Amino acid sequence: MKHTNLKQIYTTLLNEFGHQDWWPADTPFEVVIGTVLTQQTRWTNVEQAIANLKEHGLLEPETLAQAEIELIEELVHCCGFYRQKASRLNNIAKYFADKGIENVFSVPTDELRDEMLSLNGVGNETADSIVLYAANKPKFVIDAYTSRIMNCLGINGNYIRLQELFEQELPTNVDLYKEYHALIVEFAKTYCGKKRCGECLLLPDAAKV
DNA sequence: CACCAGGTTGACC
DNA sequence: GGTCAACATGGT
């Protein structure tokens, strides 16, 4: 079994890129909306869609839940997959409007994760992003970049396996989880293309123990 | 013009 | 458990 030095890698990334301070949003519910909109989509497009929703006062569970699907489709069109995203957002808004966002978030971490997973359009990464960045509970977010980098370092495994690896090797800390995931994304966007794998500045720190 | 983006789902093996 | 097409716009 291979080992990595995930703490060392974190330090390297932080020194290289500085604090990312994710997730950019005014409210927790805006984070929830963002997690769905950003699926397979550039963040600049998400910002536009969020601005559109905000203009129409649809960045709250109650109003978004009652909005016309056609209008939501129009506002999130720039994010792609706009039909499914519109209906999923509307459905998610109904869930939060019905339960109350404070109530939704005031359950134990794993319970919240399961609740989010039960919503259509919310898979592993989106559920964990909501748990971590909207509810401020400790769940390490794995994404395609993280998997790619770990594979690059010789660590393979499915989502849960990689998540357990990070959560076991790192101290349970919300701010650390937030910053680490953000740093991985910023690093990978520049240095780890799907086909390209440039000189990896992580390799020295990822050496086997 | 081809490829990719801060994925998820349902069908199938 | 894993793989795959479908979902769709916008940037390089």
Query: b/e per residue, A5-30, with b = 16+ CB within 10 A?
Result: bbeebbebbeeeeeebebbebeebbb
Q: Which residue has the tokens 């050496």?
A: A207
Q: Which residue has the higher pLDDT, A113 or A197?
A: A113
Look at A28-42, A64-78, A95-109, A191-205 and tell me which has the smallest mean pLDDT: A191-205
**Amino acid in position A90:** N
Tell me: pLDDT of A31 over 70: yes
Task: Supply the pTM of this predicted model.
Answer: 0.95
Phi-psi region of A27 (alpha: psi -120 to 50; beta: other; left: phi over 0): beta
Class of domain A28-134: mainly alpha
Q: How far is the CA of A83 from the C1' of B9 (A)?
A: 14
Neighbours of A63 (CB within 10 A): 14
Task: Work out if A45's Cβ lies within 7 angstroms of strand C.
Answer: yes
Over the stretch A148-169, which tens digit does the pLDDT of each residue have?
A: 999 988 899 999 999 999 999 9
Q: How far is the CA of A14 from the C1' of C8 (A)?
A: 35
Over the stretch A124-155, which tens digit does the pLDDT of each residue have?
A: 999 999 999 999 999 999 999 999 999 988 89
Over the stretch A34-50, which tens digit does the pLDDT of each residue have?
A: 999 999 999 999 999 99
Task: Work out if A80's Cβ lies within 7 angstroms of strand B.
Answer: yes
Chain B bases near protein Cβ (<7 Å): 3-10
Tell me: pLDDT of A60 over 80: yes
Q: How far is the CA of A144 from the C1' of C6 (A)?
A: 19
With cut-offs at 50, 70 and 90, classify the pLDDT of residue A21: confident
